[in-house]
Chain A
Amino acid sequence: MIRVQSDDFDIGAEIAALTAGKTHIGGVVSFTGLVRDFAGDAAVSTMTLEHYPGMTERMLADIEAEAHQRWPLDASLIVHRYGPLKPGDNIVLVITASAHRQAAFEAAEFLVDWLKTKAPFWKREAGPGGDRWVEAKAVDDTAAARWHK
């Protein structure tokens, strides 16, 4: 399942809902991305996420489907927020569940790496020094590229 929303999410409630009744699940992995209060040497007071409604949902669904093709997952969830966020706020949640831990760990890492390079979101950081659009990082491309086989 994928969701794109401005509202916050509750990790515990999401895991409980995702795994309810699926007692063959042996391991659940979750990743939560948070807003940092710094970017390099600069302080960040607000991060605003813009996205491409429609394409975002399509890309997240495609990425999730690919994870299910590659690993024996019993359940998964991607929640990505948009709009103005403050340091400490949740940005993104990825949950993967499988009978065994390795598939859950690997699929979670794959999903995070891929949504960083494929999902049409753009971050704008505001702080005492002004506003700036966050630039894409080469390290994220490298992380995503290692999943190409």
Chain B
Amino acid sequence: MKVLYFAWLRERVGTGEEDVAPPAGVTTVAALIDWLSARSAGHAHAFEQRDVIRAAVNQDFADPDSPVTPGDEVAFFPPVTGG
């Protein structure tokens, strides 16, 4: 599974992209956040404000309940500020 981070999430995690292999029980965006948060202090810091973090699965906006599977591209980022 490819995980991408943008803006301040990227800065806090310390990388913009990583390949991860979460255990079989990690089947939703929320569960993936729980699992990623335990990987490092940087990850924990990036995910501490759960309510402001947005996610996309395979480049579509996703909810905490959205499913994730091993081949997916999952991105985490703050609310968008383009335009």
Contact B80 A54 (CB under 8 A): no
Total A-B pairs in contact (CB under 8 Å)? 68
B26 interface hit (Cβ, 8 Å): no
Contact B83 A92 (CB under 8 A): yes
Contact B59 A54 (CB under 8 A): yes
Give the contacts of B55-83 with A (CB-CB under 8 A). Answer: 56, 59-61, 75, 77-83
Contacts known (A50-B6, A52-B6, A133-B8); A123 close to B81, Cβ less than 8 A: yes
Contact B7 A116 (CB under 8 A): no
Contact B82 A133 (CB under 8 A): no
Contact A92 B56 (CB under 8 A): no
Closest CB-CB distance, B61 to chain A, in whole Å? 8
Q: How far is the CA of A54 from the CA of B56 in the complex (A)?
A: 12
Q: Which residues on B are within 8 Å of A, measured CB to CB? A: 4, 6-8, 56, 59-61, 75, 77-83
Q: Which residues on A are within 8 Å of B, measured CB to CB? A: 33, 49-52, 54-55, 58, 80, 91-92, 112, 115-124, 133-136, 140
